[in-house]
Amino acid sequence: MTSRVFRPVTAVTAAALLLGAAACGSSSGKDPLAASGGTGSSAASGKTVVVGSANFPENVLLASIYSQALKAKGVKVTEKFNIGSREVLYGQLESGNLTVLPEYNGALLGYLDAKNTAAGTQAVNAALQQKLPATLAVLDSAAAEDKDSLTVSQATADAKHLKSIADLTGAGPLTIGGPPEFKSRREQQFKDVYGLTFKEWKPTGDTTANALKDSAIDVGNVFTTDPKIVQLKLVTLEDPKNLFSSQNITPLVNKAGVDATTTAALNAVSGKLDTAGLTALMKRVAIDKEDPSAVAKDWLKANGLS
């Protein structure tokens, strides 16, 4: 997950507006793909839906929620979790090897159009639909949002008087950590938006929060639903220039592989998932080390979706 910096959206097609409106968290039960040339309820019936995920715990959890929600509606599902980064996953969805991915709308838009400045769920999703190929679509976005952040330890924040990303420009040479792809996605954006450069970039992945606590890095790309932010008393820096835009949890689908039943089940998940709930689920996965599939099962049952 990561990547953005956008330009304003001035016009979208009627189909994009329909999908953008659908992707704001309403779960009407209608098939939002039909308005944009989707397959409808019959073309994909009986097909196996392949649910994929990126290679980090939250995305695996979300994919398991999607998978189990679909199975509860009688949909045939194959799970392919922990595949890799967006650079790998996107091509597999385009080719039809995957049918559904849990995505982060702003991060996906940044991947497709790094200069787009759309902000807010509706604008981001409308811009997304313009950039996606005709074979792909976003469904309803959840209220749940897991944003990229730049985060530091409390000790670093106090010593260097850090409250926002902008403050880092005067903080001296710094080492930053994050996912392996973080540098290629973000280095130029930090320069362009904040005039910010780093002394060293370290691929810390899932250990970023701990690397901050241990002073192995000065700044880390920690996602905002990571319970370690609270557990380790880390400080998330403000982003006054909105380099990190909306990142609502949003199903990205290959339209040829989904039908009305699949669409409705995924939209129902989005209608129930909020940020506080996702953060609580991630505590069970990341801190308590519970199995993501078991955590997903509990959440679906509690929300009447299983």
Instruction: Determine the pLDDT at residue 25.
Output: 38
Instruction: Determine the pLDDT at residue 164.
Output: 97
Instruction: Determine the pLDDT at residue 33.
Output: 58
Average pLDDT per 10 consecutive residues for the chain, totaling 306 residues:
35 34 37 46 68 96 98 98 94 97 95 87 94 97 94 97 96 95 91 95 94 97 93 94 90 97 98 95 95 98 97
Distances (CA, A) of 81 to 1, 46, 237: 15, 22, 31
Instruction: Determine the pLDDT at residue 117.
Output: 83
Instruction: Determine the pLDDT at residue 118.
Output: 87
Instruction: Determine the pLDDT at residue 122.
Output: 92
Domains contained in the chain, CATH given = 14-146+245-302 (3.40.190.10), 150-236 (3.40.190.120)
User: 249 and 174 in contact (C-beta within 8 Å)?
Assistant: no
